[in-house]
Structure 1
């Protein structure tokens, strides 16, 4: 009965055949052996498909051992849980158990499967609405006997709720810019919470593929505008520093202030011409800054 069971079938038939031939006429013994073989032998064969496992049933109930597990601190649900484990499992292929109605088997799909988390929005600590692009949860059944207590649909919905609730909770305690950089940390937190709950569901959560966390379009445009302004200010500062250095070099080389200013103006005109030819423009603020720097050196 345990495992594939074929050696058990052979030994039983051999023993019963010997007893029948010892106490009954041979023709009756043969008929009884055929009947026994048909009912207990062929009738006890169970085929489990590839990628599935079978949970044995005895008189309609699961053959399991139940364990009481205390939930780990931090579980969403406190208290204890009862975990069922099958005494033995039927592997893919042909197996033998006692025939119905004495025993039976319930086949469970243990192949890896994905569950999709649709796009949803959450709000950060500073009130910015963030969008979580579609995500994927990869999981499989690890304890078929325990999974029989829960519908597969419920497991999928519970995993989706776990992802959404965890992200909402974590993002609500972070600024939007911090949340945008914390995808790996979120994945680690979700995995830890899922592993604690997975025992109750009888599954193994393999991986969470969290979708991109993005800002609303108008907020994203504001961020890009700020970054452009920061880059522009940095470029202008580099230009101004270069003008200061060039003026200082010319004065050290012995040029008068007036002549140094003329050279700088000439170089600036050449640069402006090259910039214009390459269709690059300098902001009015930068030009005004050049004028201020030149006038400062002229007054010395």
Structure 2
């Protein structure tokens, strides 16, 4: 891992948040209050055009109501960060454009959701699926990836969410050793995609230092994931000096440092296990300095409540 000296970072990066970190809910709840419907592409293609439209109309209306419920759940549980499901509007990027056209007709309903989030001061973000690979050596894969991002960006526009990293779309670096390809593709993205795009380090292809370099060149924010970092570097503690160094280095990539978002998960069986555990029982000390933390644990809202009981309250 490339060395990053803490004393070389600007003092403005070392913020002391006035409030405790906001812990974010990822997509659904354990108690089934927040759930979304979907449909497979295989099943969809068996339907005629009229059936397709009716099916997607029903699913989108259902999921939009569940998204409203998710915001209500967050309000009731004092959660101010919510990651929307990337499958919120399934098949809306398919070639027949039926789903895309339905969403346009639903624009008034979608905008009410964004207004509700703003009213409740809840930050809504997105993590597109693993099929988005901007660093692929296949032009077709890159083209498809951009199309997926464009659809998500349009959905965020319809929701009335800001065209900025406040309402970010976070992806991984993708194919390893393709940093310059990644920078080039990002530089050519439409503004409603690029202005929301963030990159996250992973366990395999891109270390924290490597994804940091891409973010610096592409001039987009970095979402630091401490668990991916310790897995990639084979560390035995979240409090290894490199974790703090990478946290502060990532903060430098955010134009608004108080918008910095990080991820946390714990290993299921062992510390370095890549599979997520039910709860979060270990946290990096430096994360007390994080304004926004997505909690990637299987028990969702239960994990947030547990983390509040022993970690947030212990600040």
Please indicate, yes or no, whether the TM-score normalized by the shorter chain is above 0.5. no
Task: Give the greater-gyration-radius structure (CA).
Answer: 1
More helix by share: 1
Specify the TM-score bucket, using the shorter chain as the normaliser.
under 0.3
> When the two structures are superposed, what TM-score results if normalisation uses the length of structure 1?
0.19
Higher RCO (CA-CA < 8 Å; seq separation 6+): 2
